[in-house]
Amino acid sequence: MSSLDIVVRSNPRFSLGRVAALVLRHAYILRSSLPRLLELAYWPTVQMVMWGFMSQFLAQQTSYVAQAFGVLLSAVLLWDVLFRGQLGLSISFLEEIWSRNLGHLFVSPLRPAEMATALMTMSLIRTLIGIVPASLLALWFFGFSVYSLGLYLAGFFFGLIAFGWAIGLAVSGLVMRYGMAMESLAWGVIFALMPIAAVYYPVSVLPTWLQYIAWALPPAHVFEGMRSIMVHGVARPDLLASTFALDALYLGLGFLAWLGLFRGARQRGRLLQSGE
Amino acid sequence: MDAPAISTPAIDVSGLEKRFGEITAVGGIDFIVARGGVTALLGGNGAGKTTTISMLLGLLLPSAGAIRILGEDMLRHRHRVLPRLNFSSPYVDLPHRLTVRQNLKVYGKLYGVDRLGERIEELGRDLDVAPFLDRPTGQLSAGQKTRVALAKALINRPEVLLLDEPTASLDPDTADWVRGWLQRYQRRVGATILLASHNMGEVERLADEVLMMRTGRIVDRGTPQALVAKYGRDNLEQVFLDIARGEGRAAELAPLEAAQ
């Protein structure tokens, strides 16, 4: 009898070990490249400095900013959570395409839900590496602490990053299904939502019909909730609850889109053709 | 869940078909690979070898047909059998910026390999990759990359190994080394190997059975010796050319087989 005859291996439906293996693969890349690490923090920091000076100037000109100095800086930081969350997931997936590694991964026991979980974990790590130094710089440079939002900050953070993951999953699925022509979506798609995300102005500024669309997306709930605390000193748990409810919906839709596009990629033989 | 009986074929394919719009890449093929055997899919470019292997792996969904590997339906329960197989293909790479050891560690963890460190050292010695285990994979020569790809393909001690053109783009010396190693490995552990190739020497040396493919169909099958005898040729390369060009005995046999 050969050594292979009676080998029966278990294969659980969801394995944290496999999620950790894929996270390790991306951590190796980040760890080995200081420029990559610096690049993650570069743009959030530049944005923070620019909007910090802008806020200082506007605080002397308008009572709105004078009343709540950090409102623009908080908006900048939280917008970056959404942007970095989506980009972090999409880039981690694109790394697999660029390195022509998808075929190996999808023939391994790794399941789609495990891959999505690993990509979300990497997005969280990348976002924290980008945002935390910028938030500390705001404290040091402008004397503003975004952490003064307290526990609500954690709620806003996860409310936005989860929506970023939903979009990132859909974008990754499109790249998998339609190829590298979709790659540019990873960098640009989120900005299409910026005008209706109510980042720097309230939803009420928008035309009525556009307000319905804005309220159908989690970011408007987060940014209105942030302004309510910073400008009026009123915490709005109802907005946080609606954020999470919408996040659950969009994450579900994002994952379903990803699975559907994965199936489409398998039907058309895209998984072996991926790469530049 | 009980393990399928040992007597079940390692690979059982029936009516397998793949169409891309109007184009039929694989046109309804049937074959069985017995456990512990080496079977080769032999054919020219565009014959359907890679498409067939991709469907066996689940990377490509068939338009019709059934695939069972180690007794499991690959279209419905591929995740049950994935830990027990592995593959190597020139169409996929390992991440270039990771070292060889890091790549093997990641894949070892994905496959849930016990005592992974020991396994990596063992493969390092067996496949002669130990000297460059800590070098980035992208900096290796083609021959070294092939050995690393084999190490990844063997990390989980697969019962079924699918190899797509395992010696493509290698110099004759390295290709010969890889073939010799595969031969020794298969004899030592009794793994089932299905390899796709258009290298006749490789197929003659490694395969117990050959499936000759042309334009998405299996046009003949048998042991290398039986095929050479059937076509009245000196070697498999001449048989391949007859089949590819529809000349010689292949031209005489084709109408008979079509009638059958």
CA distance A110 to chain B (A): 6
With CB atoms and an 8 Å threshold, state whether B95 touches A107.
no
Q: What's the mean pLDDT in A221-234? A: 93
Residues A173-186 have pLDDT tens digits of 999 999 888 888 88
Task: State the best of B2, B67, B92, B137 to mutate against chain A, taking most chain A CBs within 10 Å.
Answer: B92
3-class DSSP state of B99: strand
The amino acid occupying position B89 is: S
With CB atoms and an 8 Å threshold, state whether A21 touches B109.
yes
Helix ranges, chain A (H): 16-31, 34-61, 63-67, 71-98, 102-107, 112-142, 151-178, 185-188, 208-215, 218-232, 237-268, 270-273
Q: What's the mean pLDDT in A66-89? A: 89
CA distance A199 to chain B (A): 38
* Whether pLDDT at A114 is above 80: yes
Q: Is A101 on the interface with B (CB under 8 A)?
A: yes
Q: Is A8 on the interface with B (CB under 8 A)?
A: yes
Shortest CB distance from A2 goes to which of B36, B51, B58?
B36
Q: Which 8-state DSSP code applies to residue A163?
A: H
Q: What is the pLDDT at residue B254?
A: 57
CA distance B102 to chain A (A): 8
Q: Is A16 on the interface with B (CB under 8 A)?
A: no
Please report the number of interchain residue pairs, chain A to chain B, with beta-carbon separation below 8 angstroms. 129
* Whole-number Å distance between alpha carbons of A97 and A81: 24
Tell me which chain A residue has its CA closest to the CA of residue B92: A100
* Whether pLDDT at A10 is above 70: no
Residue A64: which pLDDT band, with cuts at 50, 70 and 90? confident
- C-beta separation of B108 from B119 below 8 A: yes
Q: What's the mean pLDDT in A88-112? A: 93
3-class DSSP state of A263: helix
* Whole-number Å distance between alpha carbons of B70 and B12: 8
Q: What is the ipTM of this complex?
A: 0.87
The angle subtended at Cα B210 by Cα B209 and Cα B211, nearest 5°, is 125
Shortest CB distance from B83 goes to which of A6, A9, A263?
A9
Q: Is A106 on the interface with B (CB under 8 A)?
A: yes
Residue ranges per structural domain of chain B: 11-91+159-222
- C-beta separation of A100 from A268 below 8 A: no
* Whether pLDDT at A5 is above 60: no
Q: Whole-model pTM?
A: 0.89
Q: What is the pLDDT at residue A1?
A: 39
Nearest to B232 by CA among B255, B252, B203, B213: B252
Shortest CB distance from B60 goes to which of A5, A18, A266?
A266
Q: Which residues of chain B have pLDDT under 70?
A: 1-6, 247-260
Residue A6: which pLDDT band, with cuts at 50, 70 and 90? very low
With CB atoms and an 8 Å threshold, state whether B92 touches A24.
no
Q: Which CATH number fits domain B11-91+159-222: 3.10.450.50, 3.40.50.300, 3.40.50.1820, 3.50.50.60?
A: 3.40.50.300
Q: Is A3 on the interface with B (CB under 8 A)?
A: yes
Q: What is the pLDDT at residue A61?
A: 79
Task: State the best of B63, B79, B94, B106 to mutate against chain A, taking most chain A CBs within 10 Å.
Answer: B106
* Strand pairing category for B217-222 and B72-73: unpaired
Residue A7: which pLDDT band, with cuts at 50, 70 and 90? very low
Q: What is the pLDDT at residue A3?
A: 46
* Whether pLDDT at A130 is above 80: yes
Task: State the best of A1, A10, A11, A106 to mutate against chain B, taking most chain B CBs within 10 Å.
Answer: A11
